[in-house]
Amino acid sequence: MTNPGTTGSESIKTAPEPDWFGHPRQLARLFTTEMWERFGYYGMRALLTLYLTKHFLFSDRTTNGIYGGFAAMVYLTPLVGGLLADRYLGAKRSVKFGALVMALGYFLLCFGGDAAQPWVAIDGARHAVIQRNVLDRPTDSGKEQRFVVIDRQPLQIHGEADGTISLLAADGHVARHIAADRFQSGGDRSPMVTTLLLLAIALITVGNGFFKPNISTMVGELYRPGDARKDAGFTIFYMGINIGAWLSQMLCPILADTVGWWAGFLLAAIGMLISWALIQFDGGRLRHFGNPPPDLARDRAVPIFVAAVVAVPLMMVLFVNLMAAVPATPGAGFLGYVLALPLMGKLLFGTFILGVPAILGYSWAVGNREEFQMMVAAMILITFNVVFWTLFEQAGSSLTLFADRNTDLRMVGNYSISAAQTQVFNSIFIIVLAPLLSVLWIALGRRGLEPSIPVKFGLALAGVGAGFLFLVWSAGFVDASFKVSVWALVGLYFIHTVAELCISPVGLSMITKLSLARIVGLMMGVWFLSIAVAQYVAGAIAQIASVDTVGGEVTNPRLSLETYLHVFSTIGWIAVGIGAALLLLAWPIRRLMHGVN
């Protein structure tokens, strides 16, 4: 869960005397500010997918599409937020504004209203669904029952391995057997509540754009150019990210299960408000940092904040369009696929596909041969970066749903965690492994054995694939309920975390080293854009793993397991293959890098 954020602009101010672990004392406040902001964000993220499927009863396809689009915008909006802060607002004011907007979004998530009412349609005729022992919570009790009422007779819904549906009478015999294409399910939800949901997501997206890049900028300003403590300072800062994520991914799901969804989201909102308060009431400790440009002719804050408010409904339009998107018809070809993309998809792919060759063309025109080749190497690695994050970011979507539906969540004895809490393993492993890998790279570097940047990228891609293959292998030990052990997910997240540490911090360093000096900021934007594209594609991959549900629950755990394992096996082997290909290409890519390592 290493946050792939930029370090921001350098400052020429004199750094204060170190008095917090050998670093400027302001680092402690920024560390805590980021910790609480990430507490809010990752607490919300832990619940979001389950909230959409269980409370709103959106289909897996719609849920994964919303989640993928949301995650994509979370990485795209910082490009605008960082630019506005650099030129007009200053980082500190941007952070405070972003924190308040996000907090409002989290508060709105608390107003989800009553759970959607499930229904099924058989041969086009809709029937009510009766639910017994069903609680509107993230975690199921295992005692839930759902019946469709036909001719006043309640029939229990049971999915078969071939995808067909059996309706069971009270004595257990099959009263009706229905082909998959004749059976549909859905939920009736309040349009007002759905609008509030989309408004909340849009607010979080816009607020994140102001907060995410600029808190890192303020950390960068604590140090003079060339200060050797800077990398260590960011390491401490990033530790705050993962401590916040770890705490919230444990606590928010607990509140959601014991009190209600609203309580989990409220805790996330409180964390966000604490983050805002730490900057707003800093006691003058940050008065020299994160200020607007000194040569600014006039304050543009009000029109920028008004424009941000206007951007919120525009963001909602993107999400509505995303939800209404219809897949391309089979055989439509590449053009048909592109035309069928929602507006968000066209925006992301269009920007990336046009931007990469345009930047390379600029590099050819203004740089020398060596600089152009280094830019080519950077773009190749950025493209591979899209593949990595596409698979890694299944954590918040398909892997969370897999944890809910096909995972025995007992850790030790009778102690169990919830599906929403399984994302915490990544944070824990980051906290444990990041210092160890840092020491390992230094030790190998002293011996001249540290892997090159392309090799680390290749290992990361192979690693993310290996994590999925480990999960697939573990499924060979499923129990009679078609559930794998939670330790299979622990193993997957361990492997994925090692892979993440091979690419996320390395990629940021790579951008600064290979880019033309005059467009380093733009290239960092392309790095963010590649992650945004990956998040969107991750949602599309998760849609392939969609499973039919009734009332938010799968009707056949065996079919659900087989669906997930097929997708995980496919993307696992593809990732291993792409990683191996990159390892083979590592030497020619290194030649293009001209000694950069």
pLDDT digits (tens, 9 = 90+) for 93-132: 999 999 999 999 999 999 999 999 999 999 888 988 888 8
Structure tokens at 499: 């892979």
Q: Which amino acid is at 437?
A: L
Structure tokens at 151: 């001719």
Burial of 540 (0-12, 13-18, 19+ CB in 10 A): middle
Interatomic CA distance for residues 265 and 246, integer angstroms = 16
Question: How many CB atoms are located within 10 Å of the residue 292 CB?
Answer: 19
**Residue 489: predicted pLDDT:** 97
Q: Is the dihedral of CA 159, 164, 169, 171 positive or negative?
A: negative
Interatomic CA distance for residues 520 and 331, integer angstroms = 42
- Provide long-range contacts, Cβ within 8 A and 24+ apart, for 177-182: 178/122, 180/548, 182/122, 182/123
Q: DSSP string spanning 159-202?
A: E-TTS-EEEE-TTS-EEEEE-GGGEEEEEE--HHHHHHHHHHHH
Three-state SS string across 101-169, please?
HHHHHHHHHCCCCCCCEEEEEECCEEEEEEEECCCCCCCCCCCCEEEEEECCEEEEEEECCCCCEEEEC
Letter string b/e over residues 13-22, b meaning 16 or more CB atoms within 10 A of that residue's CB: eebbeeeeee
Structure tokens at 103: 């907090």
Place of tokens 């989990």: 264
Rounded to the nearest integer, the mean pLDDT of the chain is: 89
- Provide long-range contacts, Cβ within 8 A and 24+ apart, for 149-155: 150/122, 150/176, 154/130
β-partners of residue 117 are 188
Q: Which amino acid is at 453?
A: I
| Whether 39 contacts 244, CB under 8 Å | yes
pLDDT digits (tens, 9 = 90+) for 344-374: 999 998 889 988 999 999 899 988 999 899 9
Angle at 205 between CA 304 and CA 353, to 5 degrees: 95
What is the chain's Cα-based Rg?
25
Interatomic CA distance for residues 505 and 4, integer angstroms = 7
Burial of 376 (0-12, 13-18, 19+ CB in 10 A): middle
Tell me the whole-structure pTM to 2 decimals. 0.90
Q: Which of the residues in the chain have pLDDT under 50?
A: 2, 4-16, 18
Pairing of strands 145-150, 125-132: antiparallel
**Residue 15: predicted pLDDT:** 45
User: 378: Cβ–Cβ under 8 A, 6 or more apart, which residues?
Assistant: 510, 511, 514, 515, 523
**Residue 511: predicted pLDDT:** 82
| Whether 89 contacts 292, CB under 8 Å | yes
**Residue 308: predicted pLDDT:** 96
DSSP 290: S
Structure tokens at 386: 């899209």
Interatomic CA distance for residues 161 and 558, integer angstroms = 6
Interatomic CA distance for residues 504 and 491, integer angstroms = 20
Place of tokens 């990956």: 534
| Whether 326 contacts 332, CB under 8 Å | no
Interatomic CA distance for residues 264 and 161, integer angstroms = 35
Helix axes 191-221, 91-109, angle to 10 degrees: 150
Interatomic CA distance for residues 69 and 323, integer angstroms = 10
Q: Map out the domains of the chain with their CATH numbers.
A: 26-115+189-292 (1.20.1250.20), 117-187 (no CATH), 348-597 (1.20.1250.20)
